[in-house]
Amino acid sequence: MAIWFERPTPESLNAFRANTLVAHLAISFIEVGDDFLRATMPVDARTQQPYGVLHGGASVALAETMGSTGAAACLDRSRYQCFGQEINANHLRPVSSGLVTGTARPFHIGARSQVWGIEIHDDRGHLTCISRITLATVERRV
């Protein structure tokens, strides 16, 4: 069973990137399943730390982008919006080039909060980072 208020498409999600950090980091949504989102991000000069490996902050930016986008897609956005409250990440393996792919799935979708888990893998399928984000669901003010 799908979790989406209105099922998004990669094209509809990517349309919101213009003039944002998401565009600068070249994060691109590539797949939407019944209960997950998948996105990629290149490991290059935009996302590497000075030592030539993927910056942990870039991994967290990918995770937060995916988790908050997924959370928003579960809501009637004319009435509600989500705000990140807490995010954590464990960086498990360095990546120096290529593309990383993240998959985000909800652990909890409640009336006032959502919790999403994100796994990030490198081109070879190695798990490089795991993250969890908690978001508040807030009624929009008129």
Clarify whether 64 is annotated catalytic: yes
- Domain assignment of residue 53, yes or no: yes
- Residue 33 is predicted with a pLDDT of 98
38: buried, middle or exposed (CB in 10 Å: 19+, 13-18, 0-12)? middle
Per-residue pLDDT tens over the stretch 33-58: 999 999 999 999 999 999 999 999 99
| Average pLDDT estimate for 49-75 | 97
Residue of 11, 31, 64, 119 marked active site: 64
- Domain assignment of residue 1, yes or no: no
Q: Which CATH number does the domain housing residue 37 bear?
A: 3.10.129.10
| Average pLDDT estimate for 25-32 | 98
Pairwise CA distance, residues 6 & 45, whole Å: 36
Q: Is the pLDDT of residue 142 over 80?
A: no
Domains held by the chain: number: 1
Q: What is the pTM of this model?
A: 0.96
- Domain assignment of residue 59, yes or no: yes
- Domain assignment of residue 4, yes or no: no
- Domain assignment of residue 113, yes or no: yes
Per-residue pLDDT tens over the stretch 10-22: 999 999 999 999 9
Q: Is the pLDDT of residue 141 over 90?
A: no
In terms of residue numbers, what domain contains 105? 10-139
- Domain assignment of residue 129, yes or no: yes
- Residue 76 is predicted with a pLDDT of 96
